[in-house]
Amino acid sequence: MGAPYLIRDGDPADRFPDVALALREPDGLLAVGGDLSPERIVAAYRRGIFPWYSAGQPILWWSPDPRAVLFPGQIRISRSLAKTLRKGSFTVTADREFQRVMELCAAPRRGESGTWITPEMQRSYLQLHDMGIAHSVECWSGGDVVGGLYGLAIGQVFFGESMFTRQRDASKVALVHLVERLRGWGYGLIDCQVVTAHLTSLGAVAIPRSRFISLLARLCDRPGREGRWDQ
């Protein structure tokens, strides 16, 4: 089975092993250790790697195979979701409440006792937000954020991290608005990390990790939308 690669203190931010060395069980575990500096996180994402760990664990870095992605032109909108969109039930914004969206994504879900969005993770992604790399989409109703998502934009790829909903279809509406923005800006790929029934229902598909890495090599160096998205 092997063991994950150890990132040592002082290693360069881009020091990651080839993703082909990731473990099969647990699927995609590649490396352990390091830090959550903006430079290391961006270097990881550009290589198809992301951090995911629980409080009390060392930082774990993953690159699962296959990889769940959503091509912006292939989003699937059900009849009920189309009806919600036509009703205009929500006001949608971007980058207005990034910290709030992260906090709500970090809140315990039904049947879960903890979260992988640790305080350390939140601080790091807030730094990335201040740098114009991490972004959020918010759905509002009655003056409150009731759904949304956040992730990183590098080149013409959006790396989705998490979403939440407090009202029916709110997170789905946020995703539809995200896709509309990304299509308008010429983005070619949304990384969804791992396959879930929820994402599959919205058009996400599983592709081989090798194809995913090839797409990143082509798209991450293309110019994307720079700066905050609320301007």
Task: Please provide the DSSP assignment of 16-48 as one string.
Answer: ---GGG--TTTTTEEEEE----HHHHHHHHHTT
| CATH number, residue 22 | 3.30.70.3550
Together in a domain, 182 and 206: yes
E strands along the chain, which residues? Answer: 5-7, 29-33, 50-51, 60-62, 67-70, 91-94, 134-141, 144-154, 157-165, 189-193, 205-207
Residue 226 lies in a domain: no
pLDDT at 1: 54
Together in a domain, 176 and 93: yes
- Smallest CA-to-CA distance from 170 within 104, 110, 71 is with 104
Domain count, the chain: 2
**Is residue 231 predicted with pLDDT exceeding 80?**
no
Per the prediction, the chain carries an average pLDDT of 94
Together in a domain, 145 and 185: yes
pLDDT at 92: 97
**Is residue 111 predicted with pLDDT exceeding 80?**
no
Question: Which residues neighbour 77 within 8 Å (Cβ) at sequence distance 6 or greater?
Answer: 85, 176
Together in a domain, 56 and 73: no
Question: Which residues neighbour 225 within 8 Å (Cβ) at sequence distance 6 or greater?
Answer: 153, 181, 185, 187
Together in a domain, 145 and 78: yes
Give me the sign of the Cα torsion angle 17, 18, 19, 24.
Answer: negative
User: Would you say 136 and 97 are in contact if contact means Cβ atoms under 8 Å apart?
Assistant: yes
| CATH number, residue 91 | 3.40.630.70
pLDDT digits over 166-182, tens only?
999 999 999 999 999 99
Please count the residues of the chain: 231
Average pLDDT over residues 18-24: 96
**Is residue 53 predicted with pLDDT exceeding 90?**
yes
pLDDT at 6: 95
Residue 91 lies in a domain: yes
pLDDT at 15: 94
145-147-148 Cα angle (round to 5): 100
Report the percentage of the chain scoring pLDDT > 90.
86
Residue 224 lies in a domain: no
Residue 228 lies in a domain: no
pLDDT at 110: 63
pLDDT digits over 128-186, tens only?
999 999 999 999 999 999 999 999 999 999 999 999 999 999 999 999 999 999 999 99
If one compares 187 and 54, the residue with the highest pLDDT of the two is 187
How many CB atoms are closer than 10 A to CB 200? 15
Give me the sign of the Cα torsion angle 54, 196, 125, 98.
Answer: negative
Average pLDDT over residues 87-102: 96
pLDDT band at 112 (very low <50, low <70, confident <90, very high): low
Q: Which domain holds residue 50?
A: 5-64
Residue 229 lies in a domain: no
pLDDT band at 55 (very low <50, low <70, confident <90, very high): confident
Residue 132 lies in a domain: yes
Predicted TM-score (pTM) of the model is: 0.94
